[in-house]
Amino acid sequence: MTVTIYDVAREAGVSMATVSRVVNNNPNVKPQTRKKVYEAIDRLGYRPNAVARGLASKKTTTVGVVIPDISNSNFAEVARGIEDIANMYHYNIILCSADKRKDKEIRVINTLLEKQVDGLLFMGGAVTDEHKQAFKTANVPVVLCATTDEQNEIPSVDIDHEAAAYDAVKTLIGHGHRDIAMISGTLQDPSVGYARYQGYKRALQEAGIPEREDFVRVGNYRYESGIEAMGHFLEPDKLPSAVFAATDEMAIGAIHAIQDKGLSVPGDISVISVDNSRMAEMVRPTLSAVAQPMYDIGAVSMRLLTKLMKKEPVEQSKVILPHDVVKRNSAGAAQA
């Protein structure tokens, strides 16, 4: 049923070694022989068996990518960056979703390793000791992508989430705002949620603005939680003049909550966030946000991984990509 390298050899009147050579683009084959082999391949419809090849060569030219949540557009964008660079270097990628669940992450890492991937890209999510344990038993390079290892033991590519938040809030302060509320993500997540909260605090502190506990609400990154969180700020006695949301979705929720109260954005309250997803352009007013270079994070981390896999020297094993605040129409000057 399945045609093997051996069948091709017979058909072409050469040895299987020769067939193997032409399939692998080994230059030591006479052009004429090469031609004969190609013809035999076409005639028989031969398709190399990557599994057998992997076993014989101990390389699969495949890298495993674990993605926390495929339906999160940020991660999808990272994945695109990974894909593009992987293709460029002729690696295939196996994308595995882990539903943001740690146990599934570990399981997925292990099946990827069983499949003998040549390298591993771990995207998003916290990196615990258990993760590191799994990575350690891998005999292949691992790079973290859109997340970091606090102890700097594992190569990673990410942005500085604390600084991104800081810059967002500072933009607000630059507009003259002082009553700045924050709709945060979960503070349990050290690399993103907590870091952004830290950035918010640092910006306030630096401007000499005392932090008000009732000006911080924790959401779950989603639209609805933005509405809900904003609801708590929309009381006459504690109206903020600006709001910093940890994600675009929550920011859009906040904007709608504000508008539903008959107030205007940015006339009455300014809003800024971190993400700069496509949705930022799809709201009225358009959303000012700190842009994270998700595609680049993917691309750079994949590039780094290729170097590691080829045992090439790398200058930096922990890279931080720059972010950028994109001013649109949701944030403006504070009222006099």
Partner DNA sequence: CTGTTAGCGCATTCAG
Partner DNA sequence: CTGAATGCGCTAACAG
Residues contributing to the site for DNA (CB under 7 A): 2, 4-6, 13-18, 20-21, 23-24, 27-30, 32-34, 46, 48-49, 52-53, 55-59
- 80 binds its own copies per the rule CB under 8 A: yes
Q: Binding mask 149-188 vs its own copies (x if CB under 8 A, - otherwise)?
A: ----------------------------------------
Taking the C-alpha atoms of residue 98 and residue 105, their distance in angstroms, rounded to an integer, is 5
Longest distance between any two alpha carbons in the chain, whole Å: 90
Segment near its own copies (CB under 8 A); pick from 4-12, 153-161, 185-193, 246-254? 246-254
Adjacent-strand bridge partners of 93: 63
> DSSP assignment of 107-159, as one string?
HHHHHHHHTT-SEEEEESS---HHHHHHHHH-SS-EEEESS--TT--S-EEEE
- 45 binds its own copies per the rule CB under 8 A: yes
Taking the C-alpha atoms of residue 64 and residue 121, their distance in angstroms, rounded to an integer, is 6
- 259 binds its own copies per the rule CB under 8 A: yes
- 79 binds its own copies per the rule CB under 8 A: yes
Q: Which of residues 11 and 149 has its CB atom nearest to DNA in the complex?
A: 11
Whole-angstrom CA distances from 280 to 257, 274, 276, 286, 288 are 16, 10, 6, 6, 7
Question: In whole angstroms, how close is the CB of 132 to DNA at the nearest point?
Answer: 24
Question: In whole angstroms, how close is the CB of 107 to DNA at the nearest point?
Answer: 18
Q: Which residue has the tokens 């398709």?
A: 47
Give 289's DSSP letter: E
**Euclidean distance between the first and final Cα of the chain, in Å?**
81
Residues in the chain: 336
Segment near its own copies (CB under 8 A); pick from 164-172, 236-244, 247-255, 306-314? 247-255
Contact 65, 79 (CB under 8 A): yes
Q: Which of residues 12 and 242 has its CB atom nearest to DNA in the complex?
A: 12
Binding site for its own copies (CB under 8 A): 1-2, 45, 47-52, 54-55, 60, 62, 70-71, 73, 76-77, 79-80, 83, 92-97, 110-111, 113-116, 137, 139, 223, 249, 252-253, 256, 259, 278-279, 281-284
